[in-house]
Amino acid sequence: MDKEVIRLDHISKQFNQTPVLKDITAKLHKGEILGFLGPSGAGKTTTIKIITGQLHQTSGEAYILGINSKQIDETIYEQIGIVTDTSGIYDYVSVYQNLEMFAKILEVKKINIEEILKKVDLWEHRQKLASKLSKGQAQRLILARAILHNPRVLFLDEPTSGLDPSTAMEIHKLLKQLKEEGMAIFLTTHNMEEATKLCDYVALLNNGTIVEYGTPEELCLKYNQQKKFKIKLRDGNSYLMEQTPENSNQISKWLIQEEIETIHSCEPTLETVFLEVTGRELS
Ligand SMILES: Nc1ncnc2c1ncn2[C@@H]1O[C@H](COP(=O)(O)OP(=O)(O)OP(=O)(O)O)[C@@H](O)[C@H]1O
């Protein structure tokens, strides 16, 4: 069985002759999370729109579930869930009724609202008006709507933007669970920490070009040339030391004399990788 869910082959897109995407190539398989990371305007949302057939590329080909994105029909839409900022929920009906209404609109016949609300941890809030939900709860309701029909692919445009760290963590847990169940997830973010925690593969996008592509670990290791150590001594002094022969000698002396309280190696994060590749900060 072919587990490839999305394929982008050399996609380019221009708006009024201005290039927005340039030669984008990427793949996503069942049970994987692929993150498109980049600053505002890098072309992340445009990529989602091309894959889901809402926009057509200028050149290259995009495929979703084996079908060319330009030829997507209802059978494909039935297998896709999309979460964007604009996913509206009905404020003046309850959480439960929201899902009932979405099920009707989406013509989902076999639906277990209880199971879905429990999955997104909203069962105890099922009677609440949607307008009374916290930001994180509202985001989980939007996610519940997107997975109502048990899609094979889920698109998330900035899924945790504006959420506090603990609420974002709840969303991460849920996304990991969906991935474990075999869902393929395509997400965009400019949160590098989120991408490192969640994604199997990341594409670093800058000005419409993929400047790096790989697993977060691979990319961090690739840019791990200037290895540093953070050392705290028993006398209370702390040092950030680059790995040079001189420093290695000093560190072994401290080790022999049992003067070291803690020692950590500082691997680069995706944030620093991005900075090194593009020369620009993300946020
Ligand atoms: N319909 C359109 N017509 C003209 N230009 C557009 C259109 N849609 C997007 N663009 C431009 O394409 C570029 C990429 O936009 P896109 O929305 O894909 O960026 P993004 O990476 O998703 O940004 P953000 O993180 O702010 O959502 C931007 O410069 C934007 O102004």
Each residue's pLDDT tens digit, 195-223: 988 999 999 999 899 999 999 998 888 87
Q: Is the CB of 13 under 6 A from ligand 1?
A: no
Q: For ligand 1, what atom is nearest to the CA of residue 48?
A: 18
| Interface predicted TM-score (ipTM) of this complex, two decimals | 0.96
Same-domain pairing of 2 and 60: yes
- 272 alpha carbon to ligand 1 midpoint, in Å? 24
The residues near 62 (Cβ < 8 Å, ≥ 6 apart) are 6, 7, 8, 9, 11, 50, 51, 68, 69, 70
Same-domain pairing of 101 and 28: no
User: Phi and psi for 260 in degrees, rounded to 5?
Assistant: -90, 130
Same-domain pairing of 7 and 68: yes
Q: Is the CB of 195 under 6 A from ligand 1?
A: no
Tell whether 60 is covered by a domain.
yes
Same-domain pairing of 248 and 278: no
Most confident of 61-65, 72-76, 108-112: 61-65
Same-domain pairing of 130 and 93: yes
The model's pTM: 0.84
Tell whether 220 is covered by a domain.
no
pLDDT for the residue numbered 152: 94
Residue 62 buriedness (CB in 10 A; 0-12 / 13-18 / 19+) = buried
CA distance 194 to 187: 10
Tell whether 279 is covered by a domain.
yes
Same-domain pairing of 193 and 276: yes
Q: Is the CB of 41 under 6 A from ligand 1?
A: yes
Domain finish residue from 131, 150, 169: 150
The bridge status of strand 184-189 relative to strand 33-37 is: parallel
Name 188's bridge partners.
Answer: 36, 157
Does residue 20 register a pLDDT over 90? yes
- Provide the number of structural domains found in the chain: 3
Same-domain pairing of 38 and 141: no
CA distance 189 to 222: 22
- 43 alpha carbon to ligand 1 midpoint, in Å? 6
Does residue 249 register a pLDDT over 70? yes
pLDDT-derived band of residue 22, with 50, 70 and 90 as boundaries? Answer: very high
Same-domain pairing of 172 and 53: yes
Tell whether 207 is covered by a domain.
yes
- 60 alpha carbon to ligand 1 midpoint, in Å? 19
- In the predicted model, what is the mean pLDDT of residues 100-105? 86
Parent domain of 144:
80-150
Tell whether 230 is covered by a domain.
yes
Same-domain pairing of 174 and 210: yes
The residues near 118 (Cβ < 8 Å, ≥ 6 apart) are none
Q: Is the CB of 56 under 6 A from ligand 1?
A: no
pLDDT for the residue numbered 168: 85
Same-domain pairing of 259 and 280: no
Q: For ligand 1, what atom is nearest to the CA of residue 39?
A: 25
Domain finish residue from 130, 150, 170: 150
Q: For ligand 1, what atom is nearest to the CA of residue 55?
A: 1
pLDDT for the residue numbered 230: 84
CA distance 274 to 204: 7
Same-domain pairing of 124 and 156: no
CA distance 85 to 269: 27
pLDDT for the residue numbered 1: 47
Same-domain pairing of 29 and 62: yes
Q: List the alpha helices (DSSP H) in the chain.
A: 44-51, 74-77, 95-105, 113-119, 135-147, 165-180, 192-198, 216-222, 245-256, 270-278
pLDDT in tens, 127-172: 999 989 888 888 889 989 888 888 999 999 888 887 788 888 888 9
Give the other-Cβ count within 10 Å of 185's Cβ: 24
